Amino acid sequence: MVGVDHHDWNAGTLRTDIESYFRAHYGRLVRALTLVGGSEEAAADAVQEAFVKAHQKWRTVSQYDDPVGWIRRVAINRLHDEHRRNTRKDRAVARLGAGETWTVDAPEASTSEPLAAALAGLPRQQRLAVALFYLEGLSVAETASALEISEGAVKFHLHQGRERLRGLLDEEWRP
Amino acid sequence: MTDDFDDPDLAAALRNIAGPVPSVDAALPVFHRRVRVARIRRVSVAVSGAAAVALIAVGAVALTGNERGNSITPMDPSITLDTVADPSTGVGPSTTTTPTTTRVDDGDTGPSSGSGAGTAGESGSGGTASIPSSGSASTTVGDSDNPDDPDGSDDSSNADDSEDGHNEGSGNSRTTTTTGGRAVTKRCSSAGGSFTASHLIKNSVTNVSPAPGFSKTDQEIESEKITVVFGDNEVEYHVVARWTGESFSCSVGS
């Protein structure tokens, strides 16, 4: 984790601090949330917005034990909001009888792959747990903190998700 | 990573699905731009908020001012009240109400030879007059806001106007409002008597005193009423108060 000098609060230091965090965590966070949200653009937007909020409240956020954890939660919440907004749009369009609904929930890049399709089929919370644990490399406790659920719930989600994905993985690797 | 769920193969497969890590160098300028936009938005919101607060404050002050004005207006008697009574004949007074606010009592209380009730001026609005049989005059004057008489002049025909008339009897009371509602100079002349100002706003009396040249008499100030009892032939009193609908009565000979 990038160190922060909590005592020097001039603009330059603030900029350096937040930039350091941005450089260290932006890419991995966007990639993990892309796996959840299905759209790299939506994931990048959520992470950027989270960093902007962190920048606005950096004096407070930087005092936290895990500032990146705070940023991660903000990004996830924003992604959730976006997901809910899109779901409402889909329902509204369906009610209007447009006949065509759209969603950004499924991964775009490789929906043809069985593993990606299986991942997209996981419940959203389960998909988040899998992404944060396997892709971001968070621990069970960190994943629980990011999702604001208990560690037991994280273990349940990881177990269920791994069962379903691992089966497909074995089939792909089978000669 | 917890050993129970550790699965390098699954992690690699998921990394493969997620694709390459996005470029930070490309994202950083976007981040800086968004920070600037957010800052500008916050400043503009703060400025708008301050402007709104200032506007509300100005509005509140303006409303308070209007409220004060409104509280004055209905209390403004804007009237001249002339009450002439002749207790020697037992005939009641004439009452004229006019919407003037500037009329000053000139003290000209001439003798009156007439008797009988006068005619209420047509410019008065809401005024009522009660004539006690004992010969005392009791006059209640209502709202003086009269749109028919914008110039404030007394155009009523009063057969018993004390300005011109004269009174041969021993009792002659005359009351005149002199200022715009909060202060009134009340004058009664008779062989003793009393006058009462009622319908005052509770505890609004700030001054009750005999006018210069007149001796002090007994006075009683209640929260909503003033009574001045005098024994001389004439008394003139300054009353500074606020009232809801002016009601003065001048009793003579009692």
pLDDT in tens, B82-93: 333 334 433 334
Touching check for B15 and chain A: CB below 8 Å? yes
Three-point CA angle B182, B66, B240, nearest 5°: 10
CA distances from B248 to B77, B124, B194 (A): 11, 15, 11
**Same domain membership, residue B84 and residue B53:** no
**Same domain membership, residue B211 and residue B241:** yes
**Same domain membership, residue B100 and residue B8:** no
Among B74, B108, B137, give the residue marking a domain's end: B74
Cβ of A35 and B21 within 8 Å?
A: no
**β-sheet bridge partners, residue B227:** B196, B220
Low-confidence ranges of chain B (pLDDT < 70): 1-3, 65-182, 189-191, 245-246, 250, 252-254
What pLDDT does residue B94 have? 39
Residue A75 has pLDDT above 90, yes or no: yes
What pLDDT does residue B114 have? 38
| Chain A residues with beta carbon closer than 8 angstroms to that of B18 | 31-32, 34-35, 109, 131, 135
**Same domain membership, residue B161 and residue B111:** yes
Distance of alpha carbon B126 from alpha carbon B142, whole angstroms: 5
Contact yes or no for A154/B2 (Cβ under 8 A)? no
What pLDDT does residue B120 have? 39
Chain B contact probe: residue of A58, A71, A133, A136 with most B CBs at under 10 A: A133
What pLDDT does residue A90 have? 83
Please name the residues between 42 and 61 in chain A that touch chain B, using a CB distance below 8 Å: 44, 48-49, 51-52, 55-56
Q: A169 Cβ partners below 8 Å, 6+ apart?
A: A115, B9, B10, B13
B173 φ, ψ to 5°?
Answer: -110, 145
**Same domain membership, residue B92 and residue B60:** no
| Chain B residues with beta carbon closer than 8 angstroms to that of A154 | none
The pLDDT tens digits of the residues spanning A53-72 come to 999 888 888 888 888 899 99
What pLDDT does residue B219 have? 81
The pLDDT tens digits of the residues spanning B91-123 come to 334 343 434 333 444 444 444 343 434 343 333
Residue A51 has pLDDT above 90, yes or no: yes
How high does pLDDT run on average in chain A?
Answer: 80
**Same domain membership, residue B59 and residue B128:** no
What pLDDT does residue B182 have? 62
**Same domain membership, residue B94 and residue B46:** no
Residue A90 corresponds to which tokens in the numbers above?
Answer: 């889909």
Cβ of A134 and B34 within 8 Å?
A: no
**Same domain membership, residue B82 and residue B40:** no
Among B24, B56, B74, give the residue marking a domain's end: B74
The pLDDT tens digits of the residues spanning A18-43 come to 888 899 899 989 988 888 877 888 88
Cβ of A162 and B35 within 8 Å?
A: no
Cβ of B42 and A56 within 8 Å?
A: yes
Distance of alpha carbon B153 from alpha carbon B99, whole angstroms: 7
Residue B207: Cβ-neighbour burial (10 angstroms; 0-12, 13-18, 19+): exposed
Among partner residues A48, A107, A130, which is closest to B27 by beta-carbon distance?
A: A48
What pLDDT does residue A135 have? 86
Cβ of A26 and B4 within 8 Å?
A: no
Cβ of A27 and B21 within 8 Å?
A: yes
Q: Which domain holds residue B16?
A: 1-74
Residue A101 has pLDDT above 90, yes or no: no
Measured in angstroms, the CA of A40 and the nearest CA of chain B are apart by: 9
- Mean pLDDT over A146-173 rounds to 84
Please name the residues between 170 and 189 in chain B that touch chain A, using a CB distance below 8 Å: none
Q: In what order do the strands lie in the sheet with B207-210?
A: B172-173, B183-189, B234-240, B207-210
**Same domain membership, residue B147 and residue B28:** no
**Closest residue in A to B38 (Cα–Cα):** A52
What pLDDT does residue A112 have? 46
Residue A81 has pLDDT above 70, yes or no: yes
Contact yes or no for B130/B94 (Cβ under 8 A)? no
For the ranges A7-11, A47-51, A89-93, B228-232, the maximum mean pLDDT occurs at A47-51
Cβ of B11 and A135 within 8 Å?
A: yes
Q: B85 Cβ partners below 8 Å, 6+ apart?
A: B91, B92, B93, B135, B136, B137, B171, B172, B173, B250, B252
**Same domain membership, residue B42 and residue B19:** yes
| Chain A residues with beta carbon closer than 8 angstroms to that of B10 | 134, 162, 165-166, 169
Residue A161 corresponds to which tokens in the numbers above?
Answer: 């998700």
Among partner residues B4, B10, B35, which is closest to A55 by beta-carbon distance?
A: B35
| Chain B residues with beta carbon closer than 8 angstroms to that of A19 | 28
Touching check for B222 and chain A: CB below 8 Å? no
Among B22, B48, B74, give the residue marking a domain's end: B74
Chain A contact probe: residue of B1, B28, B31 with most A CBs at under 10 A: B31
**Same domain membership, residue B98 and residue B59:** no
| Chain B residues with beta carbon closer than 8 angstroms to that of A141 | none
**Same domain membership, residue B140 and residue B111:** yes
The count of domains in chain B is 2
| Chain B residues with beta carbon closer than 8 angstroms to that of A31 | 15, 18-22
Touching check for A87 and chain B: CB below 8 Å? no
Helix axes B24-72, A40-56, angle to 10 degrees: 60
Could you tell me the pLDDT band of residue A156, with boundaries at 50, 70 and 90? very high
Residue B100 corresponds to which tokens in the numbers above?
Answer: 């003037």
Among partner residues A56, A109, A139, which is closest to B19 by beta-carbon distance?
A: A109
